[in-house]
Amino acid sequence: MAFNTGSAELRIYNTLTRQKALFTPIEPGKIRMYVCGMTVYDYCHLGHARVLVAFDVITRYLRALGYDVHYVRNITDVDDKIINRAAENGESCDQLTERFIEAMHEDEARLGVLSPTEEPRATAHMGQIIAMIETLIEKGYAYAADNGDVYYRVERFEGYGKLNNRNLEEMQAGSRIEVSDVKENPYDFVLWKSAKAGEVSWNSPWGAGRPGWHIECSAMSKCCLGDTFDIHGGGPDLKFPHHENEIAQSEAANGVPFVNTWMHAGAIRVNKEKMSKSLGNFFTIREILDTYDPEVVRYFLTQGHYRSQIDYSEASLKEVRGIVDSFYHALRGLPAGEEGELENDVEARFFEAMSDDFNTALALSVLHELVREINRVKEADIGQAARLGAQLRRLGNVLGLFQRDPEQYLQGGASAQGPSAEEIERCIQERAAAKRARDFATADRIRDELKAQGVILDDSREGTSWRREA
C-alpha cells in the first residue's frame, strides 16, 4: 500500500547556505548521498550511533518518498590512530581494523541501522587517491615538500572557509597553529604522508607513504558518486576542517561544485560537554545495549531533531523506555495483517513533519496521537484498532521503530535480566490456582514477588499477561 504523503514538499537545511530550501535532486527520482563513516580503531560510541541512526532515518524517509537512494558510507581503515593502536596491541593494522569493522556492523544491526549501498574502504582506493593528488599538483593546488609529504595549498583555493562561514584571514587572525619548515603556509594540510620506519605504506610518485584523512573521502566519494552529488553528511565535528578540506580538494581537482546539500547531525553531550573519545566521557554502543533495549536507544536518538544536541543521562533512557513500552502496549493483542483504508490525516501529517527537514520530534508526536486513538477504540472495535496498529507499524518503520512482536519486546527477549519466561509463566499458573482457591494472600504475594524482580502482571478478561518493568 502506498503512503499518503499529502502535499508536503521536502525541504532540507543546508549547512553550506545556512538555510532550509526545497530539495531537488540532480537526477529526477534518484539521490546520491555520502556520509563520513568510522575510523575503525576502537568500538563505536553513542556519538557515532547518533550519526548512524540519523542518516539511517533520513535514508529510510527518502526511500519512503519513492527516491532511489544510493547511500555511501565510507570506512577509514588507515590513519595515525589505527597505526598507533595496532602497534600498542602487537598486531597488524588489518587485524585491528577487521575486528572493529565486524564490531561496528554488529552494533549497527542491533540498532536497526540498514547497510549502506556501498561501504568503501580507504585502503582499497589508493589508485584514485594518488591520481587526485597528482591532479591537484598539476593544477597548482598542491606541492610536494622536501620531506616526502604532499600538502594542499590553501591560499590557492578562493572559496576556502565557505562551509563554516569563515575566510582564511579570519581563521589566521589570533589563531595558534604549529609552524612547519616544510609548509608554505601554516594552514596547508597534508594530502600524502611519507612513511616512517615500520609503518604500513603504499608506493607513490613521492615515495612510500599513505594518504591524509581528508583526501580519502574526496577520492572515495568521486569514485562512488561522481564529481558532484546531492547530499554529504556527517557528525558535527567534521564541518571543520574535514568537510571544509574535502570541498577545497574536490572542487579544485574536478572543476565543478562538489555537493549540493550539506547535512550535519547534532552532538551527544554528557554534563554539557560533547561526548568524544578525546574527552574520555564516552560510552560505547555495546556498553549501553548491555543495559537498555536497542529500540529504546534508537528512540532516544530519534526523538530530537537530527541537528539538535542530545543530553545523555540514565534518567533520559529510563524515561524513553517507558515511552517505547507505551507504543507496544497499544499494539499488544491486536490481530496482525489488518491493512485497510483509514479516514484520518495521520500519514499526511507524519509526512508533512518529516518533509520539514526530517522533523522526527514532530513526526513522533503524530504517532503518539495515533497510540491514544488505538487505546481509545481497542475495547469497542478491535478491527479498527488493528487497522490503526498497522498504520502505526508502517509509519514507525520509516523511523526504524515498532516492528517487533509486542510480547517479545515487553518481555525483554532472551537477554532480559531477572527470572526467565518459564519461571514467570509457572508463577502465573500458581497465582491463578491460588485465586481459584480464593487464596488471595498467596496470589498477592506471588504478584508482589514478581514485581520486586522487575516483572509486572497485567490482568484482563483474556487472562494474565506480563512484561518487564521499565
Report phi then psi at 438, rounded to 5: 60, 25
108, 49 in Cβ contact below 8 A?
no
Is 9 annotated to bind ligand? no
Q: What is the percentage of the chain residues whose pLDDT exceeds 70?
A: 95
Span 202-214, pLDDT tens digits: 999 999 999 999 9
Predicted pLDDT at 1: 63
Q: How far apart are CA 134 and CA 10, in angstroms?
A: 39
Cα(303)–Cα(361) distance, integer angstroms: 5
Whether residue 67 contacts residue 31, with contact meaning beta carbons closer than 8 Å, is answered with: yes
Distance CA 73, CA 96 (A): 20
- Segment 237-242 shows an average pLDDT of 96
Q: What CA–CA distance (Å, rounded) separates 254 from 252?
A: 6
Three-state secondary-structure class, residue 213: helix
pTM of the model: 0.90
Residue 196: strand, helix, or coil: coil
Q: What is the mean pLDDT of residues 166-176?
A: 64
- Is 242 annotated as contributing to ligand binding? yes
pLDDT digits (tens, 9 = 90+) for 349-377: 999 999 999 999 999 999 999 999 999 99
Residue 277 assigned as binding residue: yes
CA dihedral (380, 386, 391, 393) positive or negative: positive
pLDDT at 93: 97
Summarize the confidence of residues 243-253 as an average pLDDT.
98
Residue 459 scores a pLDDT above 90: no
> What pLDDT is recorded for position 102?
98
Per-residue pLDDT at 220 exceeds 70: yes
If pLDDT is split at 50, 70 and 90, which confidence band does 155 have?
A: very high
Alpha-carbon distance values, 96 to 5, 52, 93, 204, 265 (Å): 45, 21, 5, 24, 28
Q: Position of cell 509486542?
A: 406
Quick one: pLDDT at residue 167?
A: 81
Nearest to 209 by CA among 222, 192, 226, 224: 192
At residue 414, the pLDDT reads 44
What does the mean pLDDT of the chain come to? 92
Q: Average pLDDT for residues 13-26, to the nearest whole number?
A: 98
Rounded to an integer, the average pLDDT of 292-314 is 96
Q: How confident is the model at residue 174 (pLDDT cuts 50, 70, 90)?
A: very low
Q: What pLDDT does 350 receive?
A: 98
**Mean pLDDT over residues 96-115, rounded?**
98
pLDDT, tens digit (0-9, with 9 covering 90-100), for 267-299: 999 877 777 666 777 789 999 999 999 999 999
Burial (0-12, 13-18, 19+ Cβ within 10 Å), 42: middle
pLDDT digits (tens, 9 = 90+) for 395-454: 999 999 999 999 999 988 544 677 888 888 899 888 988 888 898 888 889 898 888 888
- Beta strand 209-211 with 189-194 is antiparallel
Q: How many CA atoms lie within 13 A of 56 on its CB side?
A: 22
Task: Round to whole Å and give the CA distance between 82 and 76.
Answer: 9
Q: pLDDT value at position 179?
A: 57
DSSP three-state, residue 244: helix
pLDDT of residue 4 exceeding 80: no
Structure letter (DSSP) for residue 350: H
Q: Which stretch, 50-54, 340-344, 405-409, 440-444, has highest mean pLDDT?
A: 50-54
**pLDDT tens digit sequence for 124-145:** 999 999 999 999 999 999 999 9
User: For 189-193, what is the mean pLDDT?
Assistant: 97
Which of 158, 59, 46 has the alpha carbon at shortest distance from 107? 46
Strand order in the sheet with 150-152: 142-144, 150-152, 189-194, 209-211
* Amino acid found at 275: M
Give residue 186's identity as a one-letter amino acid code. P
Q: Which of 17-26, 104-113, 399-408, 455-464 has the lowest mean pLDDT?
A: 455-464
Higher pLDDT: 233 or 180? It is 233
Report yes or no: 332 and 410 within 8 Å, Cβ to Cβ: yes
Any binding-site annotation on 223?
no
Question: In the structure, what pLDDT confidence band is assigned to residue 257 with cuts at 50, 70 and 90?
Answer: very high
At 222, which amino acid appears? K
* DSSP 8-state secondary structure symbol assigned to residue 411: T
Q: How confident is the model at residue 100 (pLDDT cuts 50, 70, 90)?
A: very high
Radius of gyration of the chain (CA): 26
Please report the pLDDT score of residue 338 as a whole number.
67
- Cα separation, 379 vs 286, in Å, equals 40
Amino acid sitting at position 409: Y
Closest by Cα among 71, 90, 93, 74 to 82? 93
Give 345's DSSP letter.
Answer: S
pLDDT for 168 equals 76
